[in-house]
Amino acid sequence: MGLLHHCSPVPTVRFLIPHRIIMPLRYSSPRLLTVRSSLPFPSQKAKYHTELEAAVHVVERACRLCVDVKRSLLSGDGRILEKNDQTPVTVADFGAQALISLELGKLFPSIPLVAEEDSAFLRSNNLADLVVDAVTGKARFGDKQLTHDDVLDAIDRGGKDAFSFGANPATYWVLDPIDGTRGFLKGCEALYVVGLALVVEGEIVLGVMGCPNWQEDLSGTEVQEDENKPSGPGIIMVSHVGCGTWIKRLYNILDISPNMPDCWNRSFVDQCSLVHEARFCIPESQTWKSLPLSDVKASADGISIADKEILLLPTCCGSLCKYLMVASGRASVFFLRARSEKTIKVWDHAVGVICVHEAGGKVTDWDGSQLDIEVDQVERRVIFPSGGILVSNGNLHDRILEMISSRLSFS
C-alpha cells in the first residue's frame, strides 16, 4: 500500500475539493545514486560533517523514542497531554526534545538550541516522570542516573527566553521535536517528523528529518534498494550545504541490524514543469479556495487552471512533512498563506528549507525573497514571510509567483 493510503481512501475529484488519489510519479529523473557509509559524502566535502553525524544519530534515537511512546499509547499504558493552546502533545514531544538537547549540549556545549517546547506544562502537572522514563536508556549520559531536573533543564535549554541572541550573527540548532503531532496521535499511519537543523551566521548549513512511519518504497524517490535488505517503515533524510539531500531507512526503530553498511540514496524533487499537472500540498487549516491560485483563469502555460483537475495530496500533518514530500519528489508544491492571527515558527521550516534546496527545489516568500530566519534578532523563534511561503520543485516557482502576484493584485 502506498505512503498516502494508510488512512481512508480518497476519491478522484475536481480541483476545488482537496483530495485526489496519487498516481505513480510521472517526472522521474534518470539519475540513480546509492552510497554505503555512515554519511553519504566524505568529511573533506562537508564542513559540518561532525555536526551532521551527531545530528543523524540523535534524531534516529529520538525517532525510536517516538515509536516506543506511540506503542505505549496504543496499548493504553501512556498518557496524551494537551497544551494550553489545545494542541495535542504527548510525552514524545518533550522526550524527544530532552534527549536531543542532552546529546547536543554534551557534544556542542557552546551552541544554543532553539526548540518548540518548554517544561512549564510538565512542571505544573507533575508529569515529568513519564518523560524521564521515555528518555532513560536512550540518552547517553554516562554512568549518571538521569534526574527530573536533568530532563526538565534539557527541555528548557531550547525553550523561550533560554538564550538571548542579539543582532550579531550566531550559530545555533533549530529543533522541532515532533512536527505533525496530530499525525503522531492518529490511529492510521499519518506522517510526522523529528526535524533538526544547524544555522551558522544566518545560513542553514545542515538538516536532518526523521520520519518513523514512512512506508513507501524508496525506489519511488529515484533510488534503488538492495533486494536482500529488509523493508519496513521509517526513513531519515539528511542535507548538507553543497552536498545534496539523501535518504536511508531507519532500521534501528525496527530492531533490525543490517549485515552491511547503511545504504544512502540521493533524493531529488520532481521534474514537473506545468502548473496544472503539479501535485500540491496545503496546510490542514487552509483550503484550496483560500489560496491565490484557486480561481486563476489563465496561467503562464496559457491553460485555464479552473478547467483542469488539480492534484491536491491527501492530508499529511505538519509543515515539515510537506517539505519532506517535496524534497523526496512526492509533491511538486507546498503552499502556506501567512495569517495575522497565526505566528510562523522557525522550527516548522528551517530543516525543510535546506532539504528542499539541496534536492533541487526552491523556497521563498510570496514576493520571491528568501526566508529571513534571523529576523527575530532576540530569540530566533519566528519568521515573517511576506504573503506566505512557497515551496516548489524549482521548475514551477517563478511561474507560480507570477500567478500569485497577478491574483493578489486584483484581490
Of 392, 371, 370, 389, the C-alpha closest to 380 is 371
176 labelled binding-site residue: yes
Contact 151, 132 (CB under 8 A): yes
Cβ atoms within 10 Å of 258's Cβ, excluding its own: 16
Of the residues 68, 118, 156, 181, only one is catalytic, namely 181
178 labelled binding-site residue: yes
Number of H helices, E strands in the chain: 9, 17
255 included as an active-site residue: no
| Dihedral sign, Cα of residue 258, residue 92, residue 185, residue 179 | negative
- Pairing mode of beta strands 244-249, 235-240: antiparallel
Q: Where are the alpha helices (DSSP H) in 33-169?
A: 49-74, 91-107, 120-125, 128-135, 148-156
93 included as an active-site residue: yes
d(CA 235, CA 237): 7
Grid coordinates belonging to 193: 517528523
Of the residues 68, 93, 118, 365, only one is catalytic, namely 93
d(CA 318, CA 89): 13
284 labelled binding-site residue: no
227 labelled binding-site residue: no
Q: What residues are labeled active site? A: 93, 181
Residue ranges of the annotated binding site are 116, 176, 178-179, 348
Residue ranges of the annotated binding site for Mg(2+) are 116, 176, 178-179, 348
